[in-house]
Amino acid sequence: MTITPARPAPLLRPLAALLGSLLWAAALMAPPLAEAAKPVPTVAPRDDDAPDTVTYGRRDDVLALAAEIAQQQTLDAEWVTEALAQARFVPAVAKLMQPPPPGTAKNWAAYRARFVEPRRIRAGVAFWQAHATTLQAAERRYGVPAAIVVGIVGVESIYGQQMGRFRVLDALATLSLDFPRDARRDRSAFFREELGLFLAHCRRQGLDPLEPRGSYAGAAGMPQFMPSALAKYAIDFDGDGHIDLAGSAADVIGSVAHYLASFGWQAGMPTHHAVAVPVDAGDRAVLLGPDILPSFTAAEFTERGARLDAAGLRHVGPMALVELQNGAAAPSYVAGTANFYAITRYNWSSYYAMAVIDLGQAVAAAAKPPSTALRDGPPKPKPGAKASRASPKAN
């Protein structure tokens, strides 16, 4: 018996032909096996501190910012646009703007040790001796002691040795256009204003905006002025017709003294007084409530159980109970005056203010001739130091 092969049904013939054509086309389009197995190239990760050559160019947001700055600062729009087009995005700037990890303990002793140390003291003595006449002139005009000015310049830049490595234009452009999204709050508007003031300063002073260097936040010069401080408080103290906070020590000294005087510095007033805090936690909390803002008289300190030294009891004017944490150790406390508060307007930190004060005092002590130091009495004991065994003691 012969079996005849079955033929496809008439309706299925076109479908079979179409399927065969599709399979043939797929086979033709498929790459060879060797080519399909070729690895996909990857871009090597780059270090955050490596030089970045990505310029902002003429992005839409850059052009809009340039037009805004030109209008606000009355600058040539094309000049501003060209300057911003050459600004570079710097990843390290955005990274450094991040807040410290939560739970990071403050430590006054460690903070102080960063600034009141031999290198800064030696550099401060040299700065003071080289510019003693200018420091005296600034004190006569503004009432700010030389030790405070010297302390600020030392903390900020080690008297010009460390003024920052970032182009100010790049730092301010990065924080204006690409402020970190995971920061606690968006401060891009602040930096946009600072960028405009920086460009206006460069235009007025005939500076190339690509040249000035400063911190990751855009502060520059020996006193690390932000552009807004430069516009309001920087002065030409050497009278040469230009304001130069990177190269003119006279302009630096005059500008720092002028800044503090503008924030209420009072000639002859101490910055702080020694104080023992109240034992009662409630009284202590009341005195600590206003933070560093002077709010209580000497009598009110006493009423709350705080014990001021003799000079503090005689102090006229409000004071603040300032707490300086020491990690796991007990905090340190001072009664800060209006002049202490004035220093915190330079940098909003009580730790910063105390570092400035202590560095200035250390430089002053090192700069004095031995005979003068002896006339001022014995050195003050360090916090926590034990009393000398040689001290007179009743038996």
Indicate which residues carry an active-site annotation: 156
> Cβ distance 143 to 265 under 8 Å?
yes
Q: Own/partner pairs for 97-101, CB < 8 Å, 24+ apart? A: 97/175, 97/179, 97/180, 97/183, 97/216, 97/217, 98/180, 98/182, 98/183, 99/183, 99/184
What are the strands of the beta sheet with 272-276, ordered from one edge? Answer: 307-308, 272-276, 329-336, 320-326
Phi and psi of 27, rounded to 5°?
-65, -40
Q: Which token pair is 108?
A: 């006054």
Start-to-end Cα distance in the chain: 138
Place of tokens 């970045």: 52
Tell me how far apart the alpha carbons of residues 133 and 374 are, in angstroms, rounded to a whole number: 24
Tell me how far apart the alpha carbons of residues 125 and 79 are, in angstroms, rounded to a whole number: 43
Burial (CB < 10 A; 0-12, 13-18, 19+), residue 85, is middle
Phi and psi of 42, rounded to 5°?
-120, 155
Phi and psi of 66, rounded to 5°?
-60, -45
Q: How many CA atoms lie within 13 A of 312 on its CB side?
A: 24
Among candidate residues 311, 317, 323, 324, the one with its CA nearest the CA of residue 264: 317
Radius of gyration of the chain (CA): 33
Strands 329-336 and 320-326: antiparallel
Helix axes 188-205, 168-177, angle to 10 degrees: 150
Q: Which token pair is 291?
A: 């933070």
Beta pairing partners, 319: 296
